[in-house]
C-alpha cells in the first residue's frame, strides 16, 4: 500500500483592492484599465483581478475541505495588473503582506513555501539582482515559514532553499524556491547579465549537494521554463536563461521529483526529455485564482486551486486534484461553490504523475482529433468555455510546448507539425 502525502498549490492571487460593484462598468476595478467589466458580481469579473471576497472563498474552501496536507506552495503574484503609476513600492509591499497574513490566518500551523512573482515588485517585472526594500519587507512577512538561512538568502536575491522534514517520511524533501523573474523577458535590470544574482551558480551548488546526499528536491518558481503553450516560438524567460536551466535540470533530473510554476494563469503540464528524448522530469503550471483577461483575449480561466498527492517514501508525484470556481455560476447564485474539475490520472488514464506517465499522456494528446486533447484544452482554460476549440496551429503550440523545452527540439517539433494549410 502506497503511503501518500498531500500539498496545496495556489498561484496568482492578484488582489485588486479597488474592486467594487457600481453601475458604471468602467469603474468596477482598475485592473480592467477603463474597459467595461463584463458581468461583475461578488466574486469578480473576467475583466478584473480578484476581489478580496474571491481570495477568501478560495482559502475558505481549502480549509473547509479538511484535506490532510503536509504543506502548501504559493507561487507568487499578489498585486493587480494595473498601470505602473497606480501602484508604488509601499502599496506592493502592503498587498503581499495582506496576502501573506490572509494565508496565515486561514492556516496558522501550516508550512508554506512561497515564491516571488513578477508583479511582486514595483515597477512590475524589474526585480533586482541585489538586496532591495521589497526583498527585505517580504522576507519579514515570510519569517514564520522560513528558516534564518532561507531568509538571509532571500534578502539578497529573492530566492531560497529549505528542507521540509516530515515525521511520515524517512528522508527530508528539499524545496528550492527560484526567482525566475530575474530571467523574465521584460526585466530590463538583468539584460546582458550572464548569471543574475548568481542564482545559477547557487542552484547548481545546492543540486550538487542534494545529489551527493541523495535528497529529493521540488523546484518552485513563478515564471515557468520552457515554451508558452499559447504563443508560437516564445519562451516566458529569455532564451539564453531557458537553455541554461534546461541543461541544469537535465543534469540533476534524478534528484528533482517535481517542478511547480504559475504565471500563465493557465493549467498545463510539461515533460522534460533528455538528449535521447527519454522523459526525465515532470513540470506543472497551476492556473490562477484571478479570472482576469484582457479585452482582446478570447479566453480566460475560472479561478482554480490544486492539491497534489505524493509518495511519502521518495516524494514522487502520484496525482493532482484540480478544483475550480465556476465564476458565472457563483456570481449568479451569490455563493461560491468550489468543485473538483478533474483528477489527472483519471482524466487521462495514466498511472501516476511520473515523467514516463506524463510522456505517455503527451503522446495520447498528439493523436489527430484526440478527444483527450479537447479535455486537456478545456482544463487549460479551467472550464472557462466549452465552445472554444484549439485546432491546427493552436494545438501544435500546445503539443510542442508539453514535450520540448529547449530551442532545438521545440523548433524541430514546430517545423515537423507545420501543416501550413
pTM (predicted TM-score):
0.98
Distance CA 148, CA 10 (A): 24
The predicted pLDDT at position 421 comes to 35
The predicted pLDDT at position 18 comes to 98
DSSP 104-158: HHH-TT-EEEE---TTSSSSTT---SS--HHHHHHHHHTTTTS-HHHHHHHHHHS
The predicted pLDDT at position 166 comes to 86
Residue 159 pLDDT exceeds 90: yes
The predicted pLDDT at position 2 comes to 73
The predicted pLDDT at position 167 comes to 81
The predicted pLDDT at position 184 comes to 98
List pLDDT tens digits, range 277-293: 999 999 999 999 999 99
Strand order in the sheet with 317-324: 111-114, 71-74, 4-10, 304-311, 317-324, 339-343
List pLDDT tens digits, range 404-420: 999 999 999 999 987 54
List pLDDT tens digits, range 301-320: 999 999 999 999 999 999 99
Task: Find the farthest-apart pair of alpha carbons in the chain and give their distance in angstroms, rounded.
Answer: 62
Q: SS3 of 216, please?
A: strand
Residue 261 pLDDT exceeds 60: yes
Q: Quick one: how many helices (H) and strands (E) in the chain?
A: 12, 12
Report residue 1's pLDDT band, with 50, 70 and 90 as the boundaries. Answer: low
Q: What is the mean pLDDT of the chain?
A: 97
Report residue 169's pLDDT band, with 50, 70 and 90 as the boundaries. Answer: confident
The predicted pLDDT at position 316 comes to 97
Report residue 5's pLDDT band, with 50, 70 and 90 as the boundaries. Answer: very high
Task: Tell the residue number behind the cell numbers 551527493, with chain if given.
Answer: 212
The predicted pLDDT at position 417 comes to 83
Mean pLDDT of 259-279: 98
Strand order in the sheet with 256-261: 160-164, 173-177, 216-220, 256-261, 279-285, 268-273
Distance CA 218, CA 252 (A): 12
Mean pLDDT of 9-38: 98
Of the chain, the percentage scoring pLDDT greater than 70 comes to: 99
Mean pLDDT of 170-186: 96
The predicted pLDDT at position 419 comes to 55
Mean pLDDT of 340-350: 98
Is residue 263 within 8 A of residue 223, CB to CB? The reply is: yes
Query: 240-270 as b/e, with b when 16 or more CB fall inside 10 Å?
Result: ebbbbbbebbbebbebbbbbbbbbbbbbbbb
Mean pLDDT of 127-144: 98
Amino acid at each position: 500500500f502506497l503511503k501518500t502525502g498531500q500539498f496545496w498549490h495556489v498561484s496568482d492571487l492578484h488582489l485588486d483592492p479597488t474592486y467594487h460593484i457600481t453601475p458604471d462598468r468602467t469603474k468596477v476595478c482598475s485592473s480592467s484599465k477603463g474597459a467595461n467589466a463584463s458581468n461583475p458580481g461578488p466574486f469578480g469579473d473576467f475583466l478584473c483581478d480578484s476581489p478580496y471576497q474571491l481570495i477568501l472563498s478560495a482559502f475558505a474552501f481549502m480549509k473547509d475541505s479538511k484535506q490532510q496536507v503536509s504543506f502548501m506552495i504559493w507561487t507568487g503574484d499578489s498585486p493587480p495588473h494595473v498601470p505602473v503609476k497606480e501602484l508604488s513600492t509601499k502599496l506592493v509591499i502592503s498587498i503581499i503582506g495582506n496576502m501573506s497574513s490572509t494565508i496565515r490566518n486561514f492556516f496558522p500551523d501550516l508550512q508554506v513555501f512561497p515564491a516571488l512573482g513578477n508583479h511582486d515588485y514595483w515597477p512590475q517585472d524589474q526585480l533586482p539582482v541585489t538586496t532591495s526594500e521589497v526583498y527585505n519587507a517580504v522576507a519579514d512577512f515570510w519569517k514564520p515559514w522560513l528558516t534564518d538561512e532561507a531568509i538571509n538568502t532571500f534578502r539578497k536575491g529573492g530566492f531560497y532553499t529549505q528542507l521540509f522534514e516530515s515525521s511520515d517520511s524517512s528522508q527530508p524533501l528539499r524545496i528550492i524556491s527560484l526567482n525566475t523573474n530575474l530571467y523574465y523577458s521584460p526585466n530590463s535590470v538583468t539584460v546582458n547579465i550572464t548569471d543574475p544574482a548568481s542564482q545559477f551558480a547557487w542552484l547548481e551548488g545546492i543540486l550538487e549537494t542534494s545529489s551527493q546526499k541523495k535528497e529529493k528536491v521540488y523546484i518552485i518558481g513563478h515564471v515557468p521554463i520552457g515554451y508558452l503553450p499559447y504563443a508560437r516560438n516564445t519562451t516566458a524567460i529569455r532564451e539564453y536563461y531557458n537553455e541554461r536551466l534546461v541543461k541544469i535540470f537535465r543534469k540533476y533530473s534524478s534528484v528533482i521529483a517535481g517542478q511547480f510554476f504559475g504565471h500563465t494563469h493557465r493549467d498545463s503540464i510539461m515533460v522534460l526529455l533528455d538528449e535521447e528524448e527519454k522523459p526525465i522530469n515532470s513540470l506543472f503550471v497551476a492556473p490562477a485564482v484571478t479570472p482576469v483577461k484582457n479585452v482582446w483575449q478570447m479566453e480566460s480561466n475560472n479561478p482554480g486551486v490544486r492539491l497534489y498527492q505524493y509518495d511519502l517514501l521518495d516524494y514522487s508525484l502520484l496525482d493532482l486534484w484540480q478544483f475550480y470556481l465556476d465564476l458565472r455560476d457563483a456570481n449568479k447564485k451569490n455563493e461560491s461553490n468550489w468543485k473538483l474539475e478533474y483528477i489527472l490520472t483519471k482524466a487521462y488514464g495514466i498511472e501516476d504523475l511520473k515523467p514516463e506517465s506524463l510522456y505517455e499522456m503527451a503522446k495520447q494528446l498528439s493523436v489527430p482529433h484526440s478527444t483527450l486533447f479537447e479535455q486537456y484544452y478545456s482544463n487549460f482554460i479551467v472550464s472557462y468555455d466549452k465552445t472554444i476549440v484549439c485546432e491546427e496551429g493552436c494545438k501544435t503550440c500546445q503539443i510542442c510546448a508539453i514535450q520540448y523545452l529547449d530551442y532545438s527540439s521545440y523548433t524541430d517539433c514546430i517545423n515537423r507539425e507545420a501543416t501550413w494549410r
